Amino acid sequence: MSQVPADRRYAKSHEWARLLPDGSVEIGITDHAQHALGDLVFVEVPEPGRVLAAGDACAVVESVKAASDVYSPIAGTVLESNADLGASPELVNQDCYGRGWLMRLQPAASTALDALLGPAAYSAQLAAEGG
Amino acid sequence: MNQILEKSIFEYSREGRGATAQHPPALSGAAAAAAAEVQSTLPAALRRRSKPLLPEVSELDVVRHFTRLSQLNFSIDTNFYPLGSCTMKYNPKACNQFAMLPEFLARHPLAPDSQGQGFLSCMFELQEMLKEVTGMKAVSLNPMAGAHGEFAGVAMIRAYHRARGDLARNEIIVPEAAHGTNPATATMCGCVVREIPVDAEGDVDIAALENVVGPNTAGIMLTNPSTLGVFERKIQQVARIVHGAGGLLYYDGANLNAILGKVRPGDMGFDVIHMNLHKTFSTPHGGGGPGAGAVGVSARLEPFLPVPVVGREGETYRWLTEADRPQSIGRLSAFMGNAGVLLRAYVYMRMLGRSGMSQVGEFATLNANYLLAKLRAAGFDLAYPTRRASHEFIITLRRQAKELNVTAMDVAKRLLDYGFHAPTTYFPLLVPECLLIEPTETESRETLDAFVEAMVAILAEAEVDASKLKGAPWTMPVRRLDDVRAAKQLELTWKPVNSAA
Amino acid sequence: MAFIPHTEHDVREMLEAIGAPSIDALFDEIPAALRVQGLEGIPEGLSEMAIGRLMSERARQDGRPLSFLGAGAYEHHIPSAVWAITTRGEFYSAYTPYQAEASQGTLQLIHEYQTMISSLTGMEVSNASLYDGGSAVAEAALMAVRAHRKSKSLRILVPSTVNPNYRRVAVSTAGNQGLRFETVAYSRETGCIDPSALETFRGEDLAALVIQQPNFFGQFEDVDALTDWAHSAGMLVIAVVNPTSLAMLKPPGEWGAKGADICVGEGQPLGVPLSSGGPYFGFMTTRLEYVRSMPGRIVGRTVDLEGKQGYTLTLQAREQHIRRGKATSNICTNQGLLMTAATIYMSLLGPAGLAKVAESCMARTQQLQSALCRVRGVRAAFVGPRFHESVLLLDRPAAAVLRSLETQGILGGVDLAADYPELGPALLVCATETKTDDDIERFGNALGVALQAARAA
């Protein structure tokens, strides 16, 4: 049964986005996604300064089974990426909503998260997919 | 099988040791003078200063080490190897013997055609025989592997549309069950991939196909029988729809063994095909290669074949190159392709001959259907229970995974303890916990019976104690290697034990 | 029935178990209109004895002339042990090592190969091989474009001193993905890349420079200067090298200040017979930082659940069977058997033996060049040090000379007229460690005869 915390919003492609107090948006992949991938062996994250549109492939998460693109749920500019993932990609498996965050963006619009799914809607999607 | 692991060749090294009988003789006279001259004029800046890490060992060390390594392998020569989609049939020793006749081995690729009529006649006749078994109009032997042949095929499709000014056609349709090389190839050719589903019976979803074809369709990539182990029954309809929309049909020949001598891709409406000579025509798998991916085409694609192609003028054979074939998609290898592999395929086809080749399809299909019947009777679930097997079929262990907590991988590993290489696991991706089983025609029914017995025994073990499977294999030199660690802590070269890792 | 073990009894019992009346019935899902009755155009099958006879006749027909051909494929002594072991059934008839426990032999061998070829080329990591040298150059170009962090350019500089067939393969293979291959001229005096021609590209946005060492003419390029130039101009460096030469030459990993970025080449010289052009194998090595952009299979060392060392395919997520449409390449195979032969060859020769082969090749080519330049109408095209090939200029068209040599049982060299017409009549000749004093003397005499005949004609 995947975890779907209430304090953030979700994209259909299994990324999450969370508004931080300073107005930036933190992004990662969901519990469903990390579970499907299996143990991560490598994470490729974008460089600061990169400008992203909503839906742009911006990172790659690689397990022995698969190397999947991560799509930015919102438009924005990359402020920083999680430097711990270089040595410890397993953080994404262990704590995908906390220490396993991927990147932080400066959103292009303050209303950026409105278009995303809320926790209930995302949970419903997972149930429909059978996960 | 040898259970004792073998140390690394580098651990045998002793400085100054070597297989001196293999060194070139010492130079004297004019040669020695020449040697002195070149050494004195070689600039210091170009010289190697560090000794390369190559073993310093005796010839006996080399022979023992690599012989022992070979004994750590499963192979067709030692084990039943029912890998679906790989066609692990017997590789006749004659094919190797005659392809390695000294004159064939010694011939330089740029030797003139006049000094290669023997070799070229084999290549020409191979082209002709491949045309006949596939029903295509022309063949190129150039591509060096199946995926390479796929690349040539899709590149030819693109070239055809471009030559007609039809520049919008850049979409390649691929069934979701397709082998991974298909979409990868399409992308390599600068195309966009459109995936379509298959229906519950394993046939291409016709409605989905009709939805996706249009003015951007370059073509569709199919294999028949499909990767699901069943014949694509609606193939003629598929051909009509795709041709009707202006696209071409590409045949992935990976499963040609099922229909050799019974059905021809050209007759099914395919415009271009690749053949895996290392599957259907029994050239060696060699631990991962070399393959050969000859391509066959219909008349409209003939000008685009990759070069070189063997031509015949009267009684003389010669290579036709870019100069002879200006519309060719070009050359895909520095020389003419995997000549030695092609010679092996030639010998194989000549030994089988007309009746032998028809029997390939017949007995591959007989063996697969027999194995299917026995496994079904033993309680295994078929992925497509209403369908005949082609030369392969799929069983799914989804029920056992749920009820007994054993996966297809667990069964595959336990089979190794019984002396059988596992079937293909987890391909096609569509069927959960699947085993894709292809016995091939060269196996006896006793071998098939023994395989069924092993599967039954393993299932019985699973019902009593799943850990017997989950901890398998028990009798191999290594057990369940840590893939995650291999990818995270990359150790891709040998390092001396005392060096900082 | 060739290689099919079934007796009539077997067939009957198996059909009974299936519940089908005949083998033909097993094809009943196939529309009748598609079924062929027989393969009329195929001759009847032959026994092994008969095909053996046929093949022997054809081989005899081709014979074994004395050859001085090079141009990317080289005649070397291959120790008997190489193919005796490589054709063992356990190597020959094994599949790709996807089930690691059943394939430790192949996997360990690949790991040893990766170690040897990485070190020989002075790079950090290797893959398990690619199809051949030409396609390896194409893959290197695609990889350079993928891996280049600062540039999105699809333009690759390929000097005209790079094997022309490698350029052709690169265009055929990578052209469809938008890559463009541009030429750099060479100096008529040295047969090497013309530095001033190269300089015109400074300031342009290019992904990589390809440097072949020795180059197609056999000449040695100034690899340090070229590497530094490319890096200073923001390009990656793709080295294309001859593996035998690396026993005595500075490897690409040590070129210039930073070393080459990607290294490829044709592995055929390492124990693989000429065999009319294949099968050969391409090698590819690179820096560790680019390993995830490298196509092909890779073997890594790891441990099993008992802590024992073992080997497995790794980084497979980049490959076609997982990444599918986004794969680094569509390549599914490696040239397993050839790489096996090369690993055994390198183990037998070792660093000392391979260096002796390289030295012997250089000496014989020098000796050959001297001998042939003593023939009237022959002179060397280029000054400067070279490896084991030399371009000779003739005072008569090369094609006729070669035909005459052929009648004297000698394959004298590769005619460069098609690819380098600006040289005039020119032959690329090669002498490896396999050539003797007698061979060279014979060639010199025959060449004299051939040129005389050409003058008289």
CB–CB contact C326 A69 (8 Å): yes
Q: Which residue of B has its CA nearest to A63?
A: B484
Shortest Cα distance, chain B CAs vs residue A42, angstroms? 7
Q: What is the pLDDT of residue A18?
A: 95
* Complete domains list, chain A, with CATH: 9-107 (2.40.50.100)
Shortest Cα distance, chain B CAs vs residue C421, angstroms? 16
Place of tokens 């005209």: C160
Q: What is the ipTM of this complex?
A: 0.96
Q: What is the pLDDT of residue C327?
A: 46
Q: What is the pLDDT of residue C322?
A: 46
Q: Tens of pLDDT along B452-489?
A: 999 999 999 999 999 999 999 999 999 999 999 999 99
Listed by number, the residues of chain B in 195-234 with a beta carbon closer than 8 Å to a beta carbon of chain C are 230-231, 233
Contacts of C98 in chain A (CB under 8 A): none
Which stretches of C165-223 are assigned E, i.e. beta strand? 180-184, 208-213
Chains that touch B (3 or more CB pairs under 8 A): A, C
pTM: 0.95
CB–CB contact B488 A42 (8 Å): yes
Contacts of C292 in chain A (CB under 8 A): 42, 44, 62
CA pair distance C36, B267, nearest whole angstrom: 9
Domain presence at residue B475: no
Q: Which residue of B has its CA nearest to C7?
A: B444
| CATH 3.90.1150.10 domain range(s) in chain C | 66-76+352-456
CA pair distance B284, C93, nearest whole angstrom: 6
Place B226 in a pLDDT band, splitting at 50, 70 and 90. Answer: confident
Domain presence at residue B348: no
Q: Tens of pLDDT along C73-117?
A: 999 999 999 999 999 999 999 999 989 999 999 999 999 999 999
Mean pLDDT of chain C: 94
Q: Tens of pLDDT along C218-258?
A: 999 999 999 999 999 999 999 999 999 999 999 999 999 99
Which of B18-27, B61-70, B74-83, C325-334 has the lowest average pLDDT? C325-334
Contacts of C293 in chain A (CB under 8 A): none
Domain presence at residue B375: no
**B484 at interface of A, judged by CB pairs closer than 8 A:** yes
CB-nearest to B355 from C36, C45, C309 is: C45
Q: Which of C149, C315, C320 to mutate to test the interface with A (most CBs of A within 10 A)?
A: C315
Q: What total of structural domains would you count in chain B?
A: 1
Domain with residues C66-76+352-456, CATH architecture: Alpha-Beta Complex (3.90)
CA pair distance B455, C2, nearest whole angstrom: 29
Judged against a pLDDT cut of 60, whether residue C58 lies above it is answered with yes
Q: Which residue of B has its CA nearest to A38?
A: B484
Q: Which residue of C has its CA nearest to A46?
A: C149
Hey, what are B52's tokens? 């390369």
Amino acid identity for residue B191 in this structure: C
**B286, C339 contact by CB (below 8 A):** no
Q: What is the pLDDT of residue A105?
A: 96
For the structural domain made of C80-344, what CATH number should be given? 3.40.640.10
Average pLDDT over residues B271-285: 96
**C323 at interface of A, judged by CB pairs closer than 8 A:** yes
Burial environment of residue B27 by CB neighbours within 10 A (0 to 12, 13 to 18, 19 or more)? buried
**Cβ contacts from A onto B, under 8 A:** 14
Domain presence at residue B57: yes
Domain presence at residue B450: no
Mean pLDDT of chain B: 94
CB–CB contact B287 C91 (8 Å): yes
CA pair distance C307, C273, nearest whole angstrom: 40
CB-nearest to C35 from B51, B188, B262 is: B262
Contacts of B98 in chain C (CB under 8 A): 51-52, 55-56
Show pLDDT as tens, one digit a residue, over chain A (131 residues).
689 999 999 999 999 999 999 999 999 999 999 998 889 999 999 999 999 999 999 999 998 877 888 999 999 999 999 999 999 999 999 999 999 999 999 999 988 899 999 999 999 999 887 64
CA pair distance C331, C281, nearest whole angstrom: 13
Burial environment of residue B495 by CB neighbours within 10 A (0 to 12, 13 to 18, 19 or more)? middle
Q: What is the pLDDT of residue C146?
A: 87
Domain span at B59: 9-70
CB-nearest to B118 from C46, C58, C291 is: C58
Contacts of B375 (CB under 8 A, 6+ apart): B382, B395, B437, B452, B455
Amino acid identity for residue B476 in this structure: M
Hey, what are C131's tokens? 């199809």
Shortest Cα distance, chain C CAs vs residue A67, angstroms? 5
Amino acid identity for residue B55 in this structure: P
CB–CB contact C322 A65 (8 Å): yes
Listed by number, the residues of chain A in 7-66 with a beta carbon closer than 8 Å to a beta carbon of chain B are 38-39, 41-42, 62-64
Shortest Cα distance, chain B CAs vs residue A40, angstroms? 8
CB–CB contact B39 C359 (8 Å): yes
Q: Which of A39, A40, A88 to mutate to test the interface with B (most CBs of B within 10 A)?
A: A39
CA angle in degrees (0–180, nearest 5) for C312-C318-C324:
120
Amino acid identity for residue B388 in this structure: R
| CATH 3.40.640.10 domain range(s) in chain C | 80-344
Q: Tens of pLDDT along C388-408?
A: 999 999 999 999 999 999 999
Burial environment of residue B45 by CB neighbours within 10 A (0 to 12, 13 to 18, 19 or more)? exposed
